[in-house]
């Protein structure tokens, strides 16, 4: 199948402001693109690209004073299959983990492992380790937090979400991440596009957050917000938590004036160009 995805974001800056944007599809899906992503700004600005320490593609630019619109669009191939479960996957002892997994065991800005460790072991210490334990964490988080977009708060941490029992997809992800790390299971934060293919219509669309957990079969996707296998997940960026991978990181104040996201299946292979 083919999925068209994209975004249009408009911000206002009172003064020229440096930006770093993490909005492009992750390099591990670049080979599935029918053509390179189309990316434009209005007004037209020079943009440079680099990769951060987590392997995410970052676009760097200087926003002028006034309004700036950033627009991106592409079509990507996808298997069209729901994500697989790996019920026999096992946890990897910390002493045997790859070096680059260790950072995903540590506490981070939004994931206070020190404050949640006792709760994690009380809740899941007796659950069979491996995929079953991670799924138990996601089941708990899915039931524990009530989704409420009107109560979204950019500063809410995993510990606060645990206590407040309300949040949006990033809060589900942060709490599940923190609980997994408390249980010595490496877990990382992911954001990207997730449309409504195979599920009830989602309107308006937004970027989504989920998690990946390291087991003996490698990195495995879990989604405590939706908690069911989904079709057409498109990774944009990965990090320790949302602080590592903001969609737009501005080095100065800005005001969001417009935000639009699209992700939908298209029939046949669109022309490349």
Banded pLDDT at 237 (limits 50, 70, 90) = very high
Banded pLDDT at 267 (limits 50, 70, 90) = confident
What CA–CA distance (Å, rounded) separates 126 from 47?
Answer: 51
Rounded mean pLDDT, 176-194: 98
What CA–CA distance (Å, rounded) separates 169 from 162?
Answer: 13
Intrachain domains 2-79+247-265 and 94-243 with the same fold: no
Say what the pLDDT of residue 73 is: 97
Interval 68-120: pLDDT, tens? 999 999 999 999 999 999 999 999 999 999 999 999 999 999 999 999 999 99
Cα 38 to the center of its chain, rounded Å: 21
What CA–CA distance (Å, rounded) separates 22 from 242?
Answer: 11
Matching CATH number, 94-243, of 3.90.226.10, 3.40.718.10, 3.40.50.300, 3.10.620.30:
3.10.620.30
Which residues have C-beta within 8 Å of that of residue 5, sequence separation ≥ 6?
25, 73, 74, 75, 76, 193, 195, 234, 262, 263, 264
Say what the pLDDT of residue 22 is: 97
Contact 26, 55 (CB under 8 A): yes
Interval 190-231: pLDDT, tens? 999 999 999 988 778 899 999 999 999 999 999 999 999 999
What CA–CA distance (Å, rounded) separates 121 from 225?
Answer: 22
What CA–CA distance (Å, rounded) separates 80 from 145?
Answer: 29
Matching CATH number, 2-79+247-265, of 2.60.40.10, 2.40.160.40, 2.40.180.10, 2.60.40.2250:
2.60.40.2250
Confidence (pTM)? 0.95
What CA–CA distance (Å, rounded) separates 170 from 176?
Answer: 10
What CA–CA distance (Å, rounded) separates 240 from 188?
Answer: 5
Whether the predicted pLDDT of 271 surpasses 70: no
Task: Centre a 10 Å sphere on the Cβ of residue 213 and count the other Cβ atoms it contains.
Answer: 26
User: What is the chain's alpha carbon radius of gyration, rounded to the nearest angstrom?
Assistant: 19
Whether the predicted pLDDT of 125 surpasses 70: yes
Domain ranges of the chain: 2-79+247-265, 94-243
Which residues have C-beta within 8 Å of that of residue 171, sequence separation ≥ 6?
145, 156, 158, 161
Helix, strand, coil percentages for the chain (3-state, nearest 5): 25, 35, 40
């Amino acid at each position: 199948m083919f999925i068209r995805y994209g975004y249009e974001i408009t911000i206002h800056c009172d003064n020229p402001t440096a930006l770093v944007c993490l909005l492009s599809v992750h390099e591990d899906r670049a080979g599935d693109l029918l053509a390179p992503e189309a990316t434009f700004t209005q007004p037209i600005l020079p943009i440079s690209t680099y990769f951060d320490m987590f392997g995410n593609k970052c676009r760097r630019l200087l926003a002028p004073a006034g309004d700036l619109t950033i627009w991106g669009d592409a079509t990507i191939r996808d298997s069209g299959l729901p994500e697989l479960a790996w019920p026999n996957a096992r946890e990897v002892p910390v002493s045997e983990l790859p070096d680059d997994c260790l950072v995903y065991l540590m506490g981070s800005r939004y994931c206070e492992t020190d404050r949640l460790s006792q709760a994690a072991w009380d809740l899941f210490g007796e659950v069979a380790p491996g995929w079953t334990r991670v799924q138990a964490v996601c089941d708990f988080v899915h039931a524990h937090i009530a989704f409420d977009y009107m109560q979204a708060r950019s500063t809410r941490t995993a510990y606060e979400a645990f206590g407040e029992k309300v949040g949006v997809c990033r809060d589900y992800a942060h709490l599940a991440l923190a609980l997994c790390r408390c249980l010595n299971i490496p877990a990382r934060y992911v954001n990207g596009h997730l449309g409504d293919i195979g599920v009830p219509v989602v309107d308006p669309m937004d970027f989504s957050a989920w998690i990946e957990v390291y087991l003996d079969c490698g990195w495995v996707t879990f989604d405590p917000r939706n908690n069911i296998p989904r079709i057409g997940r498109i990774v944009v960026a990965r990090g320790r938590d949302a602080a590592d991978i903001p969609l737009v990181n501005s080095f100065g104040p800005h005001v969001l004036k417009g935000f639009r996201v699209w992700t939908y299946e298209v029939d046949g292979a669109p022309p490349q160009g």
